Chain A
Amino acid sequence: MSNEINNKKILVIEEVEDEKSLRDVLHDKFKLEGFGVLEAKDGEEGLATALRERPDLILLDIVLPKMDGLTMMKKLREANEWGKNVPIILLTNLSADDNKINQAIADNSPAYYLVKSNYTIVDLVEKIRERLSRQY
């Protein structure tokens, strides 16, 4: 079963300027863990890449150029059947107190939310594995 998980593709959508270091370290870690890694640097590119490549899970920041994460999530859900069901983890540093964010999570499941600074990379991988194994 873990082999099948390890063939999974993860799409990481992170803005490049401030978050580049985070994107790089996630890339390295996922590669070590055996995941396939796709990257996008803004909401628009993320949406296009997602629809084209159909990753098994999407890591999505909220603050993105061109199209923010919440909008991208909404559009993805509206796009097609696959788009409606792909799990999305909102990986951000904004606090979870904004009603808009909570509403978006509630409306666009399966969607999750975590504050980057409160998780170790190991925990993050753990959550991802857990979510991916649920597809079975």
Chain B
Amino acid sequence: MAIVNNLTTRYLISFGLLAVLIIGGLAWSEYQLATQERDSRVVNISGRQRMLSQKISKVVAELAAKPDAEMSARLTIELEDAIHLWERSQNALRFGDESLGITEGDSPAIGRMYENLNPVYERILNSGKTIVTLMKSDGVGSAEFSQAASEILSDENSFLTSMNNIVFAHDSEALARVTKSRIIVLFVDMSLLLFMIFLWFVAIRPALRKAEATDKAKTEFVSLASHQLRTPLTAISWYTEMILRGDMGKVLPEQRKYLEEIYGGDQRMIKLVNTLLDVSRLELGTFTVRPEPIQLKDVAESVLAELHPQIIVQKITLDKHYDSNLPVIPADPQLIRMIFQNLLSNAIKYASVNSKIRFDISIQGPNALIKVWNNGAEIPKEAQPKIFTKFFRDDLARQKDSDGNGLGLYIVKSIVENSGGKIWFESAENKGTTFYVTLPLDGMKKSPKVDPPPAGKEVLHK
């Protein structure tokens, strides 16, 4: 279907774009975090550089004061370590060093600052190394020592100042990066928002509309089918009826039987169409519930009256009991009738000849409890889980009622559950079968939109 493919394509493209935006956002975040990580390392290590240069000066000064041999040795080691770390860090800052967690990537401006600083740095470095060498070979008092020492001391300030400037430059560059990042994030978020709106119009709303249209089409189909199917069935029914009643002249006995067969078959078809329509309406959710205040036992009695002939034919003893406190319940009389008709006619159908049926309506807490028991054969264990499913009929059912269509219990269950009640059964060998139905005493809820016709106006329903 063209429209489905179109929708699917739209969804794919939309979600693809969404994915790209999200992944892009994540990648950008990651990049930002990495940059900030670097920035903070740089600031750290730059700070340390300044501290180290001061330490170098201090140690050199202490050495120049000619301490004892042990002290000198210790100070020399200190100086060597400090210089070593200082050199490594400065290289890392300028050229990057993975092991210190600094990647390359200073701006040209900062690069130039490092370049300008370099001569001072080199002087301090070389002087420091010279002093270490001299100390190791015991040349404290030499002129070289003094020269190197005074170099370090005089350059120290310069190094510190330049290093400070470099750090501040880093700082403001970092700030600029963060500001830029904020703008980009804002842009991406707005894009995402706009995109969601776009998604709504391009993919989601059309899908919803399509679903609604499909639903509407289905409802209309059911309506149409009911009309189309029922018309010829009605024609057969009425014409046959007229002939059978003699309105069109005398009917010969041989003809009567044939006409009655036609009529009977037609009635079965009408019943089936009604049931199918009920099922369709249940599935489409268009079953209208029109609650009225009804007394359950009145409906039950009316159904029993209808079933009376069968009860007589099968020689069944009916044991019925209605709780005297049963209140009037708001319920749809047609739907309640369907529940009783189904349960009671089933009980009669599956009871053995000359047997008993028990029928009970009582109050249990907030519900009315309906019990129907017969002593028929146990419902086979394999069949039990399927009993409420559509079109299910086991062999016994087929045997007892070749006309049935397996939809009765499915419909009853739907009605009961939609009313807020429950239905279940117990069936065991030699114990018969009991069906239980609970219905809340505060009744069925009216279907929305239409009020029931006001009292006094009739609606001719069968």
Tell me which of B176-184, B198-206, B238-246, B366-374 binds A.
B238-246
Residues in B231-260 with C-beta less than 8 Å from chain A: 231, 233-235, 237-239, 241-242, 245, 247-248
A-contact bits for B269-313, CB 8 A (1 contact / 0 none): 010011001000100001110100000000000000000000000
Chain B contact patch, size range: 35 or more
Within 8 Å by CB of B241, from A18, A22, A97, A122, lies A122
Which residues of chain B have C-beta atoms less than 8 A from A113's C-beta?
A: 459-461
CB neighbours (8 Å) of B270 from chain A are 117-118
Chain B residues whose CB sits within 8 angstroms of the CB of A127 once the complex forms = 460
Residues of B within 8 Å of A21, CB to CB, are 235, 239
Complex interface residues of chain B between 71 and 128 (CB less than 8 A to chain A): none
Q: B237 and A105: CB pair below 8 A?
A: no
- Do A109 and B457 touch (CB < 8 A)? yes
Pick the most buried of B223, B233, B453: most chain A CB atoms within 10 A of its CB: B453
- A63 cross-chain contacts in B, Cβ below 8 A: 227
Closest to B453 in A: A106
Q: How long is the Cα–Cα vector from A33 to B451 in the complex, in angstroms? A: 37
State which residues 85-103 of A face B: CB under 8 Å: 89, 92-99, 102-103
Q: CA of A105 to CA of B458 in the docked complex: distance in angstroms? A: 9
User: CA separation between A114 and B450, bound complex, in Å?
Assistant: 18
Name the residue in B247, B286, B449 with the highest tally of chain A Cβ atoms < 10 Å from its Cβ.
B247
Q: Is A29 an interface residue (CB 8 A)?
A: yes
Contact indicator A98/B223 (Cβ below 8 Å): yes
Tell me, yes or no, whether A119 is within 8 Å of chain B by CB: yes
* A114 touching B231, Cβ below 8 Å: no
CB distance from B88 to the nearest CB of A (A): 85
Beta-carbon contact of A122 and B223 below 8 Å: no
Q: Specify the chain A residue showing the minimal Cβ separation from B273.
A: A117
Q: A29-B247, A94-B227, A95-B223 are in contact. Are A120 and B238 (CB under 8 A)?
A: yes
User: Is B226 part of the binding interface, using a Cβ–Cβ cutoff of 8 Å?
Assistant: yes
Which of A18, A97, A127 counts the most chain B CB atoms within 10 A? A97
A110, B242: Cβ atoms under 8 Å? no
Tell which of B231, B233, B247, B461 has the most Cβ of chain A within 10 Å: B231
Type the 1/0 row for A16-28, where 1 means its CB is closer than 8 Å to any CB of B.
0011011001101
Known: A89-B460, A96-B461, A117-B273. A105 touches B449 (CB 8 A): no
Interface size class of A (residues with CB under 8 A): 35 or more
Cα distance A36–B281 in the bound complex, in angstroms: 39
Q: Is the CB of A114 within 8 A of B460?
A: yes
Residues B130-174 near A (CB distance < 8 A): none
- What residues of chain A lie closer than 8 Å to B231, measured between beta carbons? 18-19, 22, 93, 116
- A51 CB, min distance to chain B CBs, angstroms: 24
Given contacts A96-B461, A121-B238, A121-B242, contact A28 B247 (CB under 8 A): yes
A1 — which chain B residues lie within 8 A by C-beta?
none
Contact A106 B461 (CB under 8 A): no
Q: Which A residue sits closest to B288, measured CB to CB?
A: A97
Q: Contact between A93 and B457 (Cβ–Cβ < 8 Å)?
A: no
A119 / chain B contacts, CB cutoff of 8 Å = 462
Residues of A near B237 (CB, < 8 A) are 117, 120
Closest-CB distance, A27 to chain B (whole angstroms): 11
Residues of the B chain whose Cβ atoms lie less than 8 Å from the Cβ of A95: 222-223, 226, 277, 281
* Shortest Cβ distance from residue A117 to the other chain B in the assembled complex, whole angstroms: 4
On whether A105 and B453 interact (CB within 8 A), knowing A22-B231, A117-B270, the answer reads yes
Which residue of A26, A94, A97 is within 8 Å of B287 (Cβ)? Answer: A97
The answer to whether B450 and A103 touch across the interface, beta carbons within 8 angstroms, is: yes
Given contacts A93-B231, A97-B288, A120-B241, 17 further A-B contacts (CB under 8 A): A22-B235, A25-B238, A25-B239, A26-B238, A28-B247, A93-B234, A94-B223, A95-B277, A96-B459, A96-B461, A105-B457, A111-B457, A112-B458, A114-B461, A114-B462, A116-B230, A117-B234
A selection of 14 A-B contacts at a CB cut-off of 8 Å is A22-B234, A25-B235, A92-B227, A93-B231, A93-B234, A94-B226, A95-B281, A96-B288, A96-B459, A102-B453, A110-B457, A113-B461, A119-B462, A121-B241
List A residues at the B interface (Cβ < 8 Å).
18-19, 21-22, 25-26, 28-29, 32, 63, 89, 92-99, 102-103, 105-106, 109-122, 127
